[in-house]
Amino acid sequence: MKTVIIGTMMILSIFFGQARYAVAQEPAMRDSIKVFIDCGDCDFDHIRQNVTFLNYVYDRKDADIHVLITNQDTGGGKEYQLRL
């Protein structure tokens, strides 16, 4: 009987612990900065996977920040310039 009560308490604590964590994280994503990235030949999937604390939008009018990324050849590589 004692093991059933302890097992039930452990399962409930795991379930409610995860639910509380999920609820705590959701408002943070809604309140994150909305960013529009304007770049001709950037790897957007790589940027989105590695910079996860921003919300990316597809319309520049919906964005809080518009990031313009340009590049030029320098002879030995590329120079990237970001303008916010």
- Decide if pLDDT at 1 tops 50: yes
C-alpha to C-alpha distance for 19 and 57, rounded to whole angstroms: 27
Kindly report whether the global pTM for this prediction surpasses the value 0.85: no
- Decide if pLDDT at 19 tops 50: no
Q: What pLDDT, on the 0 to 100 scale, is given for residue 28?
A: 53
Non-local (6+) Cβ contacts of 60 within 8 A are 36, 38, 66
Q: What pLDDT, on the 0 to 100 scale, is given for residue 11?
A: 52
Token readout for 32 is 């994150």
C-alpha to C-alpha distance for 3 and 22, rounded to whole angstroms: 29
37-78: pLDDT as tens digits: 998 888 888 888 998 888 999 999 999 999 999 989 999 998
